[in-house]
Amino acid sequence: MKRIGVFTSGGDSPGMNACIRAVVRTAIYNGVEVIGINRGYNGIVDNDFIELKSHSVANILQKGGTILKSARSKSFFTEEGRKSAFENISQAGIEGIIAIGGDGTFTGAHIFNQEYNIPFIGIPGTIDNDLYGTDETIGYDTALNTVVDCVDKIRDTASSHNRLFFVEVMGKDAGFIALRSGIGVGAEAILVPETKTYINKLIAKLEAGRRKSKTSGIVIVAEGDNAGGAYEIARKVKEKFNFYDTRVSVLGHLQRGGKPSARDRVLASQLGFSAVENLIAGETNKMVGMENNKVVLTPFEKAIKYNKELNPNLLKLVEVLSI
């Protein structure tokens, strides 16, 4: 294999640039040229390619976002889009592709692999941490730290005004960001999609806190929670329990930016290195991940479809520590 392509796709995440850097440097170290593909799958369909040299990825390790930009492609999920993509890849002499992204990214790679014989290795780059086959995804640790920093600030004003804040965090249909950030900020309650939310149970918890003279509080709400998100939950709680003045804060895309943490930079570097090593060794249709500090390969189908469980011990911890 003498030339490979690399792109970032789906929601961007801090650490993607560190990963691109590791992919480029590892490939060049092994005598393999690298073509950067801009804007995810849209760039493959639009033939938006750029040669990447070692100096192309200098001084990006510490930067959030992705120099190759990202997108959620519609054209690639059509047969004619994939046909143009294949023609462009062949024209450019690209013999294998590294895809840095989330479940949507690997779904596309899997479909493409079935139609065209272009080897793909995926790297889990998303703040959601919702991919099976890796303990953490690139960007998750940085997003956790961002949420903790933001909620510490909210806690200051909540305690100054005796307010109850409902803080909504990202994570799509998963509660990984909510669970660990909630523990990190000492939230009174953490609402995640993986466990059904009962408003009466939440109110009972808040009422118990009031009886213990808690004058303010934080409830972390995962955006995918079944009770409808922070604004809806705050409204339902206020209907039956209005002891606290309540406010809502949706952290949104703050969680996607920022300088990657050391942990994410190291994870991105390790997975970028391993992805290239495995691609040029002939592996395909698999995602590299880190489990118990070991690099593992997981077939795309499993990485996308298998359910990654929340740690039940952490859910219990929340119950105990928030009394």
User: Shortest gap between Cβ of 198 and ligand F6P (angstroms)?
Assistant: 24
User: Shortest gap between Cβ of 71 and ligand F6P (angstroms)?
Assistant: 9
Q: What is the rounded CA–CA span in Å between residue 12 and residue 65?
A: 6
List the x/- string, 119-148, binding to ligand F6P by CB under 6 A. -------xxx--------------------
Q: Cα–Cα distances in Å, from 17 out to 138, 256, 321?
A: 10, 13, 37
Single out the residue of 221, 192, 193, 188 nearest to residue 205, CA to CA: 188
CA 238-242-243 angle, to 5 degrees, is 150
List the x/- string, 200-229, binding to ligand F6P by CB under 6 A. -----------------------x------
Residue from the set 5, 11, 14, 101 that interacts with ligand F6P by CB under 6 A: 11
Size of the site for ligand F6P (CB under 6 A): 12
Span interacting with ligand F6P, options 55-63, 170-178, 209-217, 241-249, rule CB under 6 A? 170-178
Q: Is the CB of 82 or the CB of 256 nearer to ligand F6P?
A: 256
| Coil/strand/helix, residue 193 | coil
Q: Residue type at 124?
A: P
| Coil/strand/helix, residue 82 | helix
Place of tokens 């050391």: 262
User: Shortest gap between Cβ of 114 and ligand F6P (angstroms)?
Assistant: 24
Q: What is the rounded CA–CA span in Å between residue 279 and residue 187?
A: 43
Q: Residue type at 5?
A: G
Does position 39 interact with ligand F6P (CB under 6 A)? The reply is no
Q: Is the CB of 72 or the CB of 161 nearer to ligand F6P?
A: 72
Q: Residue 303: phi, psi to the nearest 5?
A: -60, -35
Task: Give the DSSP letter string of 216-252.
Answer: -EEEEEETT-TT--HHHHHHHHHHH--SSEEEEEE-G
Q: Is the CB of 75 or the CB of 159 nearer to ligand F6P?
A: 75
Residue from the set 99, 167, 170, 251 that interacts with ligand F6P by CB under 6 A: 170
Q: Is the CB of 5 or the CB of 125 nearer to ligand F6P?
A: 125
Span interacting with ligand F6P, options 41-49, 168-176, 178-186, 282-290, rule CB under 6 A? 168-176
- Residue nearest to ligand F6P as judged by C-beta position: 11
Is residue 135 among the annotated active site residues? no
Strand partners, 35: 5, 51
Q: What is the rounded CA–CA span in Å between residue 131 and residue 20?
A: 19
Place of tokens 């989330």: 102
Q: Is the CB of 188 or the CB of 223 nearer to ligand F6P?
A: 223
Span interacting with ligand F6P, options 31-39, 78-86, 166-174, 238-246, rule CB under 6 A? 166-174
Contacting positions for ligand F6P (CB under 6 A): 10-11, 72, 102, 126-128, 170-172, 223, 256
Mind telling me the catalytic residues? Answer: 128
